[in-house]
Structure 1
Amino acid sequence: MSKSELRKDKTCLNCRYVVENKFCPNCGQENTDTRKTFVQLFVHFFEDLTHYENSFWKTIRNLMFKPSSLTKEYLSGKRMSYLAPIRLYIFISFVTFFLFSVIPDSPSDETVKVNENQAKPMEQIIVTEADSINKAKDNLEKKKWIADMEKNGYIDKKVADTLQKTIDDKKAPTDGSDYMNFGYRSVEHLDSIQKFGKADEKLNGFEYWVNKKILMVKKGRTQKEVYDKVTESFIHNIPKALFIYMPLFAFVLWLFQDKKRWYYFDHGIFTLHYFSFLLLASLILELFNFFVGLMGNNSITNGIIYMIDTIIIVYMLYYFFPAHHRFYEQSRIKTIIKGILMFFINMIILTFILVGLFFYSFINIH
């Protein structure tokens, strides 16, 4: 429980009702001093987030190791002992995606990349440097960059001459000549065809918008830069996709269950708990791989990672069946048959959502 001191004034700050005990009998607000130190503020925030006392760890334990127990307890009316489903999902979702964004790649992976770069022959180094130099704004800036690298000893004269030659021989690039080429060199080329081209060359409104957006995204970017931008935007938008997908997942559950016994609300609570489990299991998997990866890249750590990853992934796939069986109280045969059918239906829905998410991520690159 909160350890804040009670106010001497018995008048509730929220509704002005007389408070005889700790909580206001009219609005339920705790009659404690609102001014807190930083430590008290942090503790209070954590208590609010975890719903006081040990309810947080009790919720997490049941979520991980007792499939469907949280859902059954919540729907039976026992709601004060556990985190509310929406609060639980939001908390786990926030922590999971936040840590995913800040956890760096495995140090062993970085070491391998460095070693691979050191082992490259001279021709590959030339190609790599040429690709980096091509990002410069104009040829004069590129040549100055090459001269500075030669002067500082980063490359020898042979490499510098080769890089200079690639600049002199390189033709002016166009937006539509290298990758994702749909026959248009630039936005200006597309607009000119749309305005002055023949009727059979012009695009309809949607096709014109898509092609123009592709050219605008590609402009001034290499293929790798576009890929990195799309990937970053895609990962950033996954939480939004999950919010869209969860109601559809609950709807599929509703289709396969007794409509008189189960309301859509019941399936929604089951879905919130199930997706909270999937996110938490994914976070545990990521953290485990990261910390074991700190021990180095060798056969022992790789074996441990492979074994634990396999166990967690298999458990994530298996979890739905006992949760479904215990919550809906159906035979194992029905649970397996319905589970397989729902799996394929959800795969179709998820595919459409991911394709839409990829398209949305692409067109929103700035």
Structure 2
Amino acid sequence: MSHGKPREDKTCLNCGHEVEERFCPHCGQENIESRHPFYYLFTHFFEDFTHYDGQFWGTMKNLLFKPGKLTKIYLEGKRAQFVPPVKLYIFISFITFLFISFQIADVDFGKQGVETGEITKKEIQKKVSENESVRKLIKDSKDIAIADSLTGGALTQALDSTKTGNEAQLKNNDVDVEKILKSKSITQSLELQSMADFDRKEEKNGHKYELFRPFLAKIFELEKKGHAPSEITDMFIKSSIHNLPKALFLYLPLFAFLLWIFHSKRKWWYFDHGVFTLHYFSFLLLLILLLFVVTKLLSYFDGSTLASAMKGLIITSAIVYAGCYFFIAHYRTYRTHPALTIIVGAILFVINTMLFSFLLMGLGIISFLFLH
């Protein structure tokens, strides 16, 4: 219930009906003052979702610790007691992937700070002008861009300094030449200079690897823009995580369809399986969110043997619990024989593992090909 001030006028602003108490009996709108302080925009959202009467927290508690209870109660028609399945899934999915995105951004920021600290070496710029191997490595603009991205932009500054004779600037722009010498682009590792090289090799090999041509073309495109291998990897991971919520949402109907196949069509409708699916995936996402939070907290104790042991124990326990959760929720919802629950659950687990693996592969392919 919100804490808005009740209106003295008992006429509903939404439909015009008389409101005897707090809510309109005709449309359900709360009869409170329509003008509020600015902060009400945010507090109202939180109140509307969590319902300080305990609906939200009761839903979270039952979702985590009482497998199948939410589904069973919802299918019995008691639907005002807990958060609706679709609303629950969308909210948990949003919070989980938002937190993961922040985690990735935080890791990238920390990585950047470490790298800029590690590449500083005294008088290394002099080697840039003297080292013939470096000169060969950066013979064209593409290689300069790749090497420059590996050194945080310091390479270009150092080369400009050697050309202008600016010794003061040279000393302030350290470049890790050894890092440049050891690093290679993906296409250099494959000994390819262009797609024409790949096509010539394919003709000799009978087009054995033609399937990989779109991926290689994408790599050439990204390297031409100056992206190093590590940057391409990071871009791929971010793109995949960005697309994962969409992929999961598309997979929900398929998961429910598999449940529909293995259960009585007379007793259980597809709608019923959809409710079970939404609750189970909400649980999985909530568990992932809690794991990320816990591992984040334990990361502040890196180097501690106890923290590492706790992290391993928590992750292992979560995986085991997630597997057991499905069997318990399935048994409580569908009331099948325990042996049948185990058999059906095992079959569904194998099928869903295979299908979800294909989904992740497809997600990875799409995410990579649309990198820019």
Q: Which TM-score bucket, shorter chain as reference? A: 0.7 to 0.9
Q: Which among 259, 284, 289 is matched to residue 283 of structure 1? A: 289
Structure 1 segments unaligned to the other structure (5+ residues): none
Deviations, residues 144-189 of structure 1 (Å, cap 9, x unaligned) = 267777523746xxx77x899x6xxx9xx9x9942578x7715xx5
Structure 1 residues 44 and 362: CA distance shift in structure 2, 3 A:
same
Structure 1 segment 10-29 matched on structure 2, within 5 A: 10-29=10-29
Aligned to 1:97: 97
Q: For the residues of structure 2 that align with 1:145 and 1:352, how far apart are their CA atoms? A: 52
Give, in angstroms, the shift of residue 218 of structure 1. Answer: 4.1
Q: For the residues of structure 2 that align with 1:28 and 1:180, how far apart are their CA atoms? A: 66
Q: Which among 171, 194, 197 is matched to residue 185 of structure 1? A: 194
Other structure's SS at 1:24 match: coil
Number of matched pairs: 335
TM-score (norm 2): 0.77
Q: Which among 287, 300, 303 is matched to residue 297 of structure 1? A: 303
Q: What is the root-mean-square deviation in Å for CA atoms of aligned residues?
A: 4.0
Give, in angstroms, the shift of residue 207 of structure 1. Answer: 8.8
Structure 1 residues 296 and 185: CA distance shift in structure 2, 3 A:
closer
Q: Which among 322, 326, 330 is matched to residue 320 of structure 1? A: 326
Give, in angstroms, the shift of residue 68 of structure 1. Answer: 0.4
Contact 1:106 1:290 in 2 (8 A): no
Alignment pair present for 1:69 and 2:56: no
Give, in angstroms, the shift of residue 238 of structure 1. Answer: 0.7
Alignment pair present for 1:143 and 2:146: no
Structure 1 residues 117 and 210: CA distance shift in structure 2, 3 A:
closer
Structure 1 segment 210-359 matched on structure 2, within 5 A: 212-219=217-224, 220-359=226-365
Structure 1 residues 149 and 260: CA distance shift in structure 2, 3 A:
farther
Contact 1:51 1:82 in 2 (8 A): no
Q: Which among 118, 136, 148 is matched to residue 133 of structure 1? A: 148
Structure 2 segments unaligned to the other structure (5+ residues): 129-133, 139-143
Q: For the residues of structure 1 that align with 2:214 and 2:309, how far apart are their CA atoms? A: 50
Contact 2:24 2:30 in 1 (8 A): yes
Q: Match of 1:300, as an amino acid?
A: L
Give, in angstroms, the shift of residue 245 of structure 1. Answer: 1.0
Give, in angstroms, the shift of residue 229 of structure 1. Answer: 1.1
Give, in angstroms, the shift of residue 224 of structure 1. Answer: 2.2
Q: For the residues of structure 1 that align with 2:323 and 2:179, how far apart are their CA atoms? A: 52
TM-score (norm 1): 0.78
Give, in angstroms, the shift of residue 86 of structure 1. Answer: 0.7
Q: Match of 2:367, as an amino acid?
A: S
Contact 1:179 1:223 in 2 (8 A): no
Percent of matched pairs sharing the same residue: 40
Q: For the residues of structure 2 that align with 1:342 and 1:179, how far apart are their CA atoms? A: 42
Structure 1 residues 225 and 293: CA distance shift in structure 2, 3 A:
closer
Q: For the residues of structure 1 that align with 2:273 and 2:160, how far apart are their CA atoms? A: 64
Q: For the residues of structure 1 that align with 2:179 and 2:14, how far apart are their CA atoms? A: 72
Contact 1:241 1:357 in 2 (8 A): yes
Other structure's SS at 2:280 match: helix
Give, in angstroms, the shift of residue 142 of structure 1. Answer: 5.9
Deviations, residues 247-278 of structure 1 (Å, cap 9, x unaligned) = 11111111111111111110100000000110
Give, in angstroms, the shift of residue 352 of structure 1. Answer: 1.5
Structure 1 residues 357 and 7: CA distance shift in structure 2, 3 A:
same
Structure 1 residues 148 and 72: CA distance shift in structure 2, 3 A:
farther
